[in-house]
């Protein structure tokens, strides 16, 4: 289960001026690993969080992360995202780079959403994953 989190806008003044500077992005998501081997992890995730414009953003899509040692993973998710804050409310697909550090009981995830046509301001994000144990 994901527990969303926090964001940091690189254009502090621009995001404040456009009223998309909320950096407490509460929400929940689910993540299912459908392949986990020595090389990496393939997964599908979906979630809902309060975005930078204080709207509810919905996301879903697959991803893959390479394992970098015992605790680190690096990869990306290809997410379908929809929120009134982004792209005039029209859903779009975006590749989102993802770095994960496994602390054992929880995982710390860092993302980067670059500035592009559907996303006016680049942003870094942090959230936690609480794994369900079998």
pLDDT in tens, 84-134: 998 889 999 999 999 999 998 999 999 998 887 677 788 899 999 999 875
Instruction: Please give the CATH number for the structural domain made up of 2-129.
Output: 2.40.160.20
Nearest to 41 by CA among 7, 87, 72: 72
Residue 104: CA count within 13 A, CB half-sphere: 0
Domain range annotation of the chain: 2-129
Kindly report the pTM of this predicted structure.
0.90
Of the listed ranges 14-23, 28-37, 59-68, the one predicted with least confidence = 14-23
Helix (H/G/I), strand (E/B), else coil: 87: helix
What is the arithmetic mean of pLDDT over 1-18? 91
């Amino acid at each position: 289960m994901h527990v969303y989190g926090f964001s940091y806008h690189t254009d502090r003044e621009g995001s404040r001026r456009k009223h998309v500077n909320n950096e407490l992005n509460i929400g929940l998501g689910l993540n299912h690993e459908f392949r986990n081997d020595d090389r990496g992890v393939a997964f599908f995730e979906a979630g809902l969080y309060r975005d930078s414009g204080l709207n509810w953003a919905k996301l879903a899509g697959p991803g893959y992360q390479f394992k970098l040692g015992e605790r680190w993973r690096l990869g990306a998710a290809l997410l379908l995202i929809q929120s009134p804050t982004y792209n005039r409310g029209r859903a779009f697909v975006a590749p989102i780079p993802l770095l994960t550090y496994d602390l054992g009981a929880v995982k710390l995830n860092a993302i980067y959403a670059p500035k592009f046509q559907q996303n006016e301001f680049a942003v870094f994000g942090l959230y936690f994953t609480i794994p369900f144990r079998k």
